[in-house]
Amino acid sequence: MRKHTVLLLTLLFCLNLSSQRQMSYNTKNKKVIKLETVDTLSYICFRKDVPIHQRKVKLSNKVVTIRQEQQSELIRIDSPSEITQLKNDGNIESVYKVLRFPTGKELVVLTNEILVKVNPGKQVSSVLDNLRIPYLMISEIEELSDVSIVQLPTSDNTLDVVNLLVSSPDLVYAEPNFIQFIDGPTSTNATTDLYSTNQWSIVNPYGFTMDVLAAWKLSKGKDIKVAVLDEGVELTHPDLKDNLLPGYDATLGDGPGINGAAAPGDSHGTACAGIIAALENNIGMTGIAPQSKVIPIRIAIGYYENDEKKWRTSSATIARGFGEAYRRGADVVSCSFSSTNVAASVSDAINTLTTNGRNGRGSVVVFSTGNDGSSTVSPYCNLPNVISVGNLEITGNRRFSSNYGSNLKVMAPGAGTYTTYPSGSYGTFGGTSAACPHVASVAALILSLKPNLSQKDVASAIYSSCTKLPGYQYPSPNRWNNETGYGLVSAYEAILASKPFTMIVPDLLCECETHTFSISGPTDRCDSIVWNLYFDKEIISGNGTTSVEVRILEAPGYALPFVASIYYGNRVVKLEEQAHAGVPETYDIIGGDEATEMELTYAEVIMAGATSYTWELKQGRCGIWPNNNIADLLPYDTNKVIIVVTGYNRCGSYAEWLSFTPKRRVSGQNSRQIGTKSVAIYNLSYELIYSDKNLISLFDINAVNLPSGFYVIESQLENGIITREKVYIP
């Protein structure tokens, strides 16, 4: 597949865009994607053997952005005839149209490449051949299942081919592989100060922190892999290098991004990585999850122009980045970027991550909401299972530029965040780009303690534990706000919401026996543990530790509470569990009790602490079909019935007497239900006595002339449901 490199457009709105024409293509779900052609711009690709100086001379002042290593250029066009001249130039391999989405300012380039995903068992080549679509090459994308790039002979009919392909039942989707020009993320500012006093997410004079110091008592993200999809990371930064795993360049080597490395001067990915996993090495700053590992995945080529950051990427590149995050087992994915349109291939790759990542538990994907000050979040934030993050100021207010709206989930520190910077230095970083990795870090803290949690469990723990911000209303029942979501993320409370501690108690406690109680979880950093046992007991050993041996002096027959308080400085986590002590005890009887006149069909006896039951008929005539603590009962007459139910456990047994008198039920006429199509009558041995498979009128049981006694009437409704009832015929 041809590789393209280009700088981003800088003076978009300074260009003459008066000449525009509408274009569109259809998606598989029949949605129409509209675009506008920008006739004043073209995207050209030189032949590889054309020297750089010759490219510059040929284009002269037509180049909008210029970079020495460029094989491709974005150029100004003054007249349609210039495009024809370029296409006929032997030094130029391709000339592509420049488009933009009507709803945004981002530019895209319409190439001769289409992203195609086929249904399982289908071949792209067969689909193309059946539709008589000519093509030059088919390249599979290894990182994505069943997704290929189809290269057409020309870009003139790319959208027409897409519209033809989406009509095929053999495809999941087909879409143009646009080269995308994305407004770059918020830049950092360099500083020579190596020791941070500005990590206000940790220490804030206004009090709006993420409670990181308390969270570190429980977790620092050990062994969790966080993929940072960005413009690359400085692999040699002293505060990062020991926490970096082998990276990946999803641009396929388009620029100096080998192994996920950032190009010289590219700071954005390095800044995001520092917020997550900067080392605890007493220099610079410390990441929110300093024991986690970062996988740098380069999905864009970035540069600064007039202090404004720009990115160039493509649909295939972004999708490839998410696919590689899945292949490399990323637990969390941090995404501080946005665009006007989300390609189907990208959405598909993200969905695969959030549903199938982490061995089916789902990877946690976090996105920034964008920095347009818009009441609509970035389209990525509207995808299922994505945690969207807005930008909070140090004073506890939403940053004016932070996008908000219905799919905003949480807020995190953004403006003026101190973090790692290129050339081994440090700087301040801002925008929702800085807020996003803060939340990704919290997910890493949680998963380090509870690796078996699902993606939804992690998200729920984060949402439910947020700090509500003053000045914003959080009405019930969702406790959510349009500008700040669920509030400011709390690392400490989110960890507790994930229930990192477990008290292990015996299933059953007996008198005068010794039992062991223990606590699992991150107790190695705690200051002390206090056990509170509210009953007659004797602690044999282990008081003040995570495991105690206890002798029960009196087992009263019901559940006893066990409370353990785990102290971390001025914080305390309380655990409470109950364990049954002594022989079983009757809790409830459902279906019958002493002196109750009724016709029983079943009885349920609940004895606290019982592990098995026996049923015994003491008086009367009654069929009993027990299933542990539940039994089907069928009285044979109206005489008094006495049944003894006994519950057993290791400590002993307890017997409960069940006494009742069946009430004679007389049914002279049984009218068929609406929709009843058949009826059958059985005796108590379930032998068929009578049946009518084509019931057309009300059913009168007296007309059957049955002997007196108990019978079972079975009715079948037109919807197939079968009902049964036992009646007594006098």
Total count of residues recorded for the chain: 730
Helix (H, G, I), strand (E, B) or coil at 674: coil
Strand 602-608 relative to strand 585-590, pairing:
antiparallel
The values of phi and psi at residue 659, to 5°, are: -125, 130
Separation between Cα atoms, residue 648 and residue 580, nearest integer Å: 13
The values of phi and psi at residue 363, to 5°, are: -75, 150
Sequence letter at residue 594? E
Burial of 287 (0-12, 13-18, 19+ CB in 10 A): buried
368 assigned to active site = no
H/E segment holding residue 658: strand 652-661
Separation between Cα atoms, residue 602 and residue 608, nearest integer Å: 20
| Structure token pair of residue 673 | 């239900």
Separation between Cα atoms, residue 22 and residue 563, nearest integer Å: 69
Contact 483, 472 (CB under 8 A): yes
113-to-7, 70, 141, 175, 205 alpha-carbon distances in Å: 20, 20, 13, 9, 53
In SS3 terms, 238-281 reads as: CCCHHHECCCEECCCCCCCCHHHECCCCCCHHHHHHHHHHCCCC
Among the listed residues 433, 441, 448, 498, the single catalytic one is 433
| Structure token pair of residue 68 | 């020495």
Strand residue runs (E) in 70-218 = 72-76, 92-100, 107-110, 113-118, 137-140, 147-151, 171-176, 179-183, 189-191
Among the listed residues 4, 237, 268, 438, the single catalytic one is 268
515 assigned to active site = no
- For the chain, helix (H) and strand (E) counts, in that order, are 11, 42
433 assigned to active site = yes
Q: How many CB atoms lie within 10 A of CB 558?
A: 14
Sequence letter at residue 352? T
Among the listed residues 183, 230, 331, 457, the single catalytic one is 230
- Would you please indicate which residues are annotated as catalytic (active-site) residues? 230, 268, 433
